[in-house]
């Protein structure tokens, strides 16, 4: 106590302060500017305060239908979240035992993180174009006749997002099962639980808080994904893609309102999950 | 509780790839025995326990419980129950639900399984903690809950994997008395894996000392301590000097070494430690061999000496046990 901090401390603290400002300053600026008055522009100073840009946003009627894009992204995010959880948990369980090709499978999964996103996206787009050509030229008549493309939100788009979320999900599962004491499962087996009962009554409840975290990760990664979606999404766009399109054409603060709304959803999901985990822990402690 | 039954291991072997963990051991544990599997780490005692429990399957040999051959049965179908080293209480379930777990898995209704769990918690004096979570219990309390959880399956044999190693020394002594009392009351066999010879001697009716996958020696604690068969047994059971005399190794208990200025065999005192009721003298013989003598305070006071002194030592002929 009472020990004087060295000059290094203050220098580093100032540097850290700058870093935080750099990290969150832009976001904060956009939050503020999204409440720009009706006559305000894209930059400071604020010309009054209003919710008029949010109103415009949700009325639609702009160049693109942002409301529809919002719901599309939300739906995709939820599907990605559920699939990421289901596949990561299954894979995490599978990787606890050694199986043939485990190493190769792991590296292939992780490699998806290393390959540049735009390349992955181009590849998926190319793959689907090849597939479409194949169906059109060589498929059975009933299929080939009306076929245009299989590329879409829940085919190529979903795949592109999963290449992004699954490696994270799997790595988190590895961390979870690294800490997981296998004696719990042996004890359950000793007490007569079947493998399914062991999972249902012992493993799942213990890993549940971490699994919620994976779901959260899956959703937020999908929610603001651009690079992997760009070439693989098909004809309709996700919200971030619409937003990116707008940045070149829009000159009004409604784009800021959109940014604020997207961030709000992300925060909402995070806090809802944290609240869910807390509730779960509370319920456990209460029993 | 189920009727106690004897357990028999016949040429039981466990191999993990190239390594031989348990090497064709034969062992018979009569019904209602407190048996300690004792040995250094890696001696095969835990593998043996896990093969009896069914968490490992024997590579070769047979395990018989009563008249039944249980070698390849699943753990819950054997009539054994296991208490794990760190207890492995399910962290998300209350004490009551932990104890009732086996009954829930069998589909027994809530009222019945809670009543049975209540009875078992009564047995281990943990009724007051039924609604707590494992994390809210002390180590000793967790052990009692783990005992209750294992015993609710009415096993013929309870298997305990280093049950006291997670406790502090004071609690260890108390819990070991409780284990012994519980085993006596239930009348079933307990098989208890430990690396502490003191623990084994305090608890066991039958001590099975293992070394390198084989049974080195087995017997009652007194037999084990007073008639060690090998140098390993003498060293592991403690309280012995292993000395080379002519072409043979012998074991002499440290408290059977007599010290007096008049004895012919000369030794130098390298260290003298006061331990309260007794003293320990580390001695070096002229040929470089070292040995330990323990003597009571009374014996010491009759002929005191100090570190660095030269003394004479001797032991009775019948105190020297030849080792194989």
Alpha-carbon distance values, A145 to A125, A149, B271 (Å):
22, 12, 99
- List the single best residue of A187, A196, A203, A277 to mutate versus B (max B Cβ within 10 A): A187
What integer pLDDT is reported at residue A2 of this predicted model? 59
Q: Report, as an integer, the average pLDDT of B178-192.
A: 93
Residue A13 clears pLDDT 60, i.e. is over it: yes
Q: Which residue has the higher pLDDT, B306 or A141?
A: B306
Do the Cβ atoms of A187 and B90 come within 8 Å? yes
% of chain A beyond a pLDDT of 70: 95
pLDDT of residue A271: 87
Q: How confident is residue A226, by pLDDT bands cut at 50, 70 and 90? A: confident
Mean pLDDT (whole number) for A231-238? 80
Chain B residue numbers touching A194 (CB-CB < 8 A): 105
Contact at 8 Å (CB) between B161 and B82? Answer: yes
Which residue in chain A is spatially nearest to B85 when comparing CA positions? A183
Tens-place pLDDT, residues A46-99: 777 788 777 777 776 555 677 788 888 889 999 999 999 999 999 999 998 888
pTM: 0.80
d(C-alpha B43, C-alpha B48), whole Å: 10
For chain B, what is the mean pLDDT? 92
Q: Cβ B92–A186 below 8 Å, yes or no?
A: no
Contacts of B76 in chain A (CB under 8 A): 189-193
The tens digit of pLDDT for each residue in B149-183 reads: 999 999 999 999 999 988 888 889 999 999 999 99
Percentage of chain A with pLDDT > 90?
26
| Chain A residues in contact with chain B using a Cβ-Cβ cutoff of 8 Å | 181, 183-184, 186-194, 197, 201-202, 205-206, 284-285, 287
A202–B90: do the CB atoms touch at under 8 Å? yes
Q: Give residue-wise pLDDT tens across range A137-183.
A: 887 878 777 777 788 888 888 988 999 999 999 999 999 998 899 99
pLDDT recorded at residue B260: 85
Neighbours of A171 (CB within 10 A): 18
Q: Would you say B252 and B320 are in contact if contact means Cβ atoms under 8 Å apart?
A: yes
Contact call for B76 and A190, based on CB within 8 A: yes
pLDDT at B143 > cutoff 60 = yes
pLDDT reading at B132 higher than 70: yes
Question: Mean pLDDT over residues B71-100, rounded?
Answer: 93
Domain map of chain A by residue range?
64-249
CATH number, span A64-249: 1.10.3720.10
Q: Tell me how close the Cα of B74 comes to any Cα of chain A, in angstroms.
A: 8
pLDDT at B2 over 60: no
Give how far A277 is from chain B: nearest CA, Å.
Answer: 13
Which residues in chain A are closer than 8 Å to B94, comparing Cβ atoms? 287
Count Cα neighbours of A119 within 13 Å in the Cβ-side half-sphere. 6
Q: Residue A266: what pLDDT?
A: 82
Tokens of A10: 């203050």
The 3-state secondary structure of chain B reads CCCCCCEEEEEEEEEECCEEEEEEEEEEECCCCEEEEECCCCCCHHHHHHHHHCCCCCCEEEEEECCEECCCCCHHHCCEEEECCCCCCCCCCCHHHHHCHHHHHCCCCHHHHHHHHHHHHHHCCCHHHCCCCHHHCCHHHHHHHHHHHHHCCCCCEEEEECCCCCCCHHHHHHHHHHHHHHHHHHCCEEEEEECCHHHHHHHCCEEEEEECCEEEEEECHHHHHHCCCCHHHHHHHCCEEEEEECCEEEEEEHHHCEEECCCCEEEEEEEEEECCCEEEEEEECCCCCEEEEEEEHHHHHHCCCCCCCEEEEECCHHHEEECC
Res. B319 pLDDT band, cuts 50 70 90:
confident
At B198-229, the pLDDT tens digits run 999 999 999 999 999 999 999 999 999 999 99
ipTM, 2 dp: 0.84
Query: For residue B1, what pLDDT is reported?
Result: 46
Q: How far is B85 from chain A (nearest CA, A)?
A: 9
Q: Which of B54, B91, B153 sits opposite A191 (nearest CB)?
A: B153
Rg (CA), chain B: 24
| Residue A217: per-residue pLDDT | 86
Name the residue among A227, A261, A244, A256 with its Cα closest to residue A119.
A227
Q: Which parts of chain A fold into alpha helices (H)?
A: 7-33, 52-59, 66-94, 102-114, 117-138, 141-144, 158-179, 183-190, 195-198, 204-223, 227-230, 239-249, 254-286
């Amino acid at each position: 106590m009472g020990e004087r901090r060295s000059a290094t401390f203050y220098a580093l603290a100032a540097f850290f302060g700058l870093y935080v400002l750099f990290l969150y300053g832009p976001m904060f600026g956009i939050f503020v500017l999204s409440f720009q008055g009706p006559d305000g522009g894209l930059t400071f100073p604020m010309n009054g305060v209003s919710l008029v840009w949010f109103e415009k946003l949700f009325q639609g009627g702009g160049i693109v239908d942002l409301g529809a894009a919002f719901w599309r992204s939300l739906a995709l995010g939820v599907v990605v979240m559920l699939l990421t959880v289901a596949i990561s948990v299954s894979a995490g369980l599978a990787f606890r035992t050694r199986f043939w090709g485990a190493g190769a499978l792991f590296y292939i999964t992780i490699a998806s993180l290393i390959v540049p996103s735009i390349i992955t996206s181009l590849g998926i787009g190319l793959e689907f174009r090849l597939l479409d050509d194949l169906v059109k030229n060589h498929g059975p008549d009933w299929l080939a006749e009306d076929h245009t493309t299989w590329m879409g939100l829940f085919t190529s788009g979903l795949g592109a997002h999963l290449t992004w979320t699954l490696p994270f999900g799997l790595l988190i599962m590895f961390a979870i099962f690294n800490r997981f004491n296998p004696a719990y499962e042996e004890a359950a087996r000793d007490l007569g639980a079947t493998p399914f009962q062991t999972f249902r009554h012992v493993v799942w409840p213990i890993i549940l808080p971490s699994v919620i975290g994976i779901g959260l990760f899956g959703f937020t990664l999908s929610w603001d994904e651009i690079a992997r979606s760009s070439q693989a999404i098909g004809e309709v766009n996700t919200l971030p893609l619409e937003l990116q399109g707008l940045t070149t054409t829009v000159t009004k603060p409604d784009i800021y309102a959109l940014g604020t709304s997207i961030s709000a959803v992300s925060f909402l999901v995070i806090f809802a999950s944290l609240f869910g985990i807390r509730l779960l822990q509370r319920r456990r402690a209460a029993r | 509780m189920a009727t106690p039954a004897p357990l028999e291991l016949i040429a039981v072997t466990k191999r993990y790839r190239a390594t031989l963990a348990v090497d064709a051991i034969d062992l018979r544990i009569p019904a209602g025995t407190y048996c300690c599997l004792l040995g250094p780490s890696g001696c095969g005692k835990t593998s043996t326990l896990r093969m009896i429990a069914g968490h490992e399957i024997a590579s070769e040999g047979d395990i018989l419980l009563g008249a039944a051959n249980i070698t390849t049965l699943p753990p819950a179908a054997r009539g054994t129950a296991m208490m794990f080293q760190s207890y492995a209480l399910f962290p998300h379930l209350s004490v009551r639900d932990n104890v009732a777990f086996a009954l829930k898995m069998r589909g027994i209704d809530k009222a019945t399984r809670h009543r049975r769990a209540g009875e078992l918690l009564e047995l281990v004096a943990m009724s007051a903690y039924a609604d707590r979570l494992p994390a809210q219990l002390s180590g000793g309390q967790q052990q009692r809950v783990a005992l209750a959880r294992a015993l609710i399956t009415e096993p013929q044999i309870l298997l305990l994997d280093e049950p006291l190693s997670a406790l502090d020394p004071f609690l260890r002594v108390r819990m070991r008395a409780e284990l012994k009392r519980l085993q006596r009351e239930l009348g079933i066999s307990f098989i208890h894996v430990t690396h502490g010879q003191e623990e084994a001697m305090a608890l066991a009716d039958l001590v099975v000392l293992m070394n390198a996958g084989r049974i080195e020696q087995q017997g009652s604690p007194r037999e084990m301590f007073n008639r060690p068969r090998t140098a390993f047994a003498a060293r592991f059971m403690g309280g012995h000097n292993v000395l080379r005399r002519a072409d043979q190794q012998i074991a002499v208990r440290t408290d059977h070494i007599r010290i007096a200025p008049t004895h012919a065999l000369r030794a130098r005192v390298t260290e003298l430690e006061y331990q309260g009721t007794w003293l320990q003298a580390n001695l070096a013989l002229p040929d470089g061999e070292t040995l330990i003598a323990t003597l009571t305070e009374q014996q010491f006071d009759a002929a005191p000496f100090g570190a660095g002194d030269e003394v004479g030592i001797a032991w009775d002929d019948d105190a020297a046990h030849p080792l194989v």
